Amino acid sequence: MRCGNCGNLVGVLCRCLPAWLGTDPQVRQAVDRQDLRTIIRLLRSRTRLHQGELASITGLPQPTISRLESGRIHRVRDRYKLRRALAGLGLIDPDPELVAAAEPSSVPVPPQPSTPVAPLTVDDCGWEADAAMDALHTALGYAPSRRTIMALAGSTLAAQVLQWALADPTQARRAREGGPVSDVLTDRLAQSVDAVRIADAQGGASPALRAMAQPQLEFLHRLLREDNPGTDRSRLLGVTADLAGLLGWMAVDAGEARAQALLLAALRTAHAAGDPVLGAGIISYLAVHTYSQGQGREAALMAGTALHRVQGMASPFVECVLWTRQARGHAVAGEERRARMALEHAFDAYTMGPCEDDPVWLYWVDEGELHGQAGSTLLELGYHDQALEHAEQALAGYSPECVRNQASTQIRAARALIGMTEVEQACDRAHQALDLVETLRSERTTGQMRSLLTRLRPHQGHAPVRELLERARPLVREGA
Is 442:405 a contact under the CB 8 Å cutoff?
A: no
Out of 40-49, 94-103, 163-172, 375-384, pick the least confident: 94-103
**CA distance to 56, 86, 97, 98, 253, per residue, from 103 (Å):** 14, 18, 10, 9, 35
Task: Report the half-sphere exposure of 181 (CA within 13 A, side-chain side).
Answer: 27
* Sequential DSSP letters for 39-52: HHHHHHHHS---HH
pLDDT over threshold 90, residue 13: no
**Predicted local confidence at residue 110, as pLDDT:** 41
CA atoms within 13 A on the CB side of 245: 27
* pLDDT at 421 > cutoff 60: yes
Cα(127)–Cα(133) distance, integer angstroms: 10
pLDDT bin (cut points 50, 70, 90) of residue 456 is very high
Provide φ and ψ at 359, rounded to 5°: -60, 150
Q: Tell the burial category of 315 from Cβ atoms under 10 Å away from its Cβ (0-12, 13-18, 19+).
A: buried
pLDDT tier, 379 (very low <50, low <70, confident <90, very high otherwise) = very high
User: How many Å is the Cα radius of gyration of the chain?
Assistant: 23
At residue 57, what is the residue type? I
- pLDDT at position 256: 85
Task: Give the Cα separation of 235 and 212 in Å (integer).
Answer: 22
Q: Could you report the per-residue pLDDT of 279-290, keeping only the tens digit for each?
A: 999 999 999 999
| Per-residue pLDDT band at 142 (split at 50, 70, 90) | low
Q: Is the pLDDT of residue 119 over 60?
A: no
Q: Supply the pLDDT for residue 43.
A: 92
- Give CA angle at 4 (3, 6), nearest 5°: 65
Report, as an integer, the average pLDDT of 345-351: 95
pLDDT > 70? residue 403: yes
Check pLDDT > 70 for residue 175.
no
Tell me the domains of the chain and their CATH numbers: 19-101 (1.10.260), 122-314 (no CATH), 402-479 (no CATH)
Alpha carbon distance 79, 258 (integer Å) = 39
DSSP state of 333: T
pLDDT for position 365: 85
pLDDT value of position 213: 84
Percentage of the chain modeled with pLDDT above 70: 79
The band of 69, judged by pLDDT with boundaries at 50, 70 and 90, is confident
Q: Please state, in angstroms and as integers, the Cα–Cα distance from residue 308 to each residue in 18, 301, 319, 322, 352, following that order.
A: 50, 11, 10, 10, 19
87 neighbors 1 (Cβ within 8 angstroms): yes
**Segment of 145-154, 255-264, 406-415 carrying the highest mean pLDDT:** 406-415
- Tally of CA atoms within 13 A in the half-sphere of 402 that contains its CB: 19
Average pLDDT in the chain: 81
3-state secondary structure of 383: coil
The residue among 415 and 75 whose pLDDT is bigger is: 415
- Helix, strand, coil in percent for the chain, rounding step 5: 70, 0, 30
